[in-house]
Amino acid sequence: MPRTLIRNASVVFPGDGLRSASGEVRTANILIGDGKILDIDASDTAGCDELIDAAGRHLLPGVIDDQVHFREPGLTHKEDLASASHACAAGGVTSFLEMPNTKPPAITLEGVRAKEQLAAEKSLVNYGFYIGATPDNVSELANAVDVPGIKIFIGSSTGNLLVDEQEALERIFAETTLPICSHCEDETTVRANTERYRGTTDIADHSRIRDEKAAMIATQRATNLARRHRHRFHVLHVSTAAELVYLQDPSPYLTAEVCPHHLFFNVDDYPRLGSRIQMNPSIKTSADNEGLWKALQDDVIQVIATDHAPHTLDEKSQPYPSSPSGLPAVENSLALMLNQVHEGKVNLVQVAHWMSDAPARVWGMTGKGRIAEGYDADLVLVDLNESRTILDKKQHTKNRWSPWHGETMTGWPVRTIVGGQTVWSAENGFDESARGGKPRFDHSRGGYWATAGGIGE
């Protein structure tokens, strides 16, 4: 492969994690070749086949989105791996980890491998796929290898992906070794609230049905399982400040994430945005927004991921409760955070940690998440001064809409590099010949709390 020299970039180094505050931003020349970062302090005259002048721009490790629903196979009228990976590339996302609730669901290793083959043929960026838990597939989960982890739906699912019985959950935590993640909403509480609000057409009732209590009960239940079984567990899309009480005691077994919609939207936005912000778990209050931001700052929550889950606008426009839950976000998540940098609320080291370094460490993705010699050349070049307005018609997801339609952000990706190859640039668009690859998952490293110095090869 040709060598590329990225010269005069302001390079963002995540450091050893938020608590040590050892990250930095400094001007450097980055030499890449054979899909790897060869030198982080290369000479201005280093031999290369391609020279990228990055003066005035910042270079970050590519975003790793560890929670997406790209709908293939079975629901490709909503999204597919090709359209979703284009959205990723335009948004600075160089790797995604996709959930198992497709049709058919990925509940066997054979099903996971089939999805990997589809991605190898279609995806511009790197890909990984969770294996889904059911009440009856513990042996399949126990024998699964070379996947990011196990996904459990503790509530909020249909068919055999719902795992709500305590005996089944105990077996999964006791008899498997892969890290586990879960959607935490208590099914009993949600069903009782659904009956209480039967007949409602008020979209705001979605947050009353999927309330704080539902989230708290399920998160307490799951984190208790993780602590008792000493099993690594990642709480997906934390939506309430109340849940944080179960995450605040440092544990080598627990990590958590938050999504942009739970950071930026709350119940006061329903009159303006309606079902565009209908999600599971539901949007909560402004006080929850504040609590989740603080948890990120305090390393109680480690990861930002999107839970990208698109539906067509026709589907979303159905009257509640017929409208489905889910929204697209992969191509705007980095810009949302860069805009927070512009407003002085966070810094670039934090953004690189939350969106790149931390998810790589949680899921054992070797050579990912940092700009360091020997790491994979998965990079995103951003312009912190560029302002763009998010518009439905300019989205690359198949359904071409965004809940942030009409909002202007300052700070945008201008070039996305996957394995040393530019897959998208603002100047030239997409390289349709590019294809991502499957990361290597090494769970023996011990996850987030055991890899403060990164997770190199």
3-state helix, strand, coil in the chain (%, to 5): 30, 25, 45
Distance CA(140)–CA(367), nearest Å, equals 28
Distance CA(269)–CA(405), nearest Å, equals 13
Neighbours of 228 (CB within 10 A): 12
Q: Which single residue is written with the structure tokens 């699912």? A: 157
Residue 59 · residue 379 · CB < 8 Å: yes
Tell me which residue of 31, 50, 49, 51 sits closest to 41, measured CA to CA: 31
Is residue 288 flagged as an active site residue? Answer: no
Reported residue count of the chain is: 457
Q: 268 to each of 93, 103, 282, how far by Cα in Å?
A: 30, 34, 13
Catalytic residue among 65, 186, 307, 357: 307
What would you report as the CA-atom Rg of the chain, rounded to the nearest whole angstrom? 21
Q: Which single residue is written with the structure tokens 């110095």? A: 453
Residue 297 · residue 289 · CB < 8 Å: no
Crossing angle of helices 109-122/81-91, nearest 10°?
A: 60
Q: 214 to each of 47, 75, 155, 259, 453, how far by Cα in Å?
A: 58, 28, 9, 18, 36
Tell me which residue of 170, 100, 172 sits closest to 129, measured CA to CA: 100
Neighbours of 216 (CB within 10 A): 19
Residues with catalytic annotation? 307
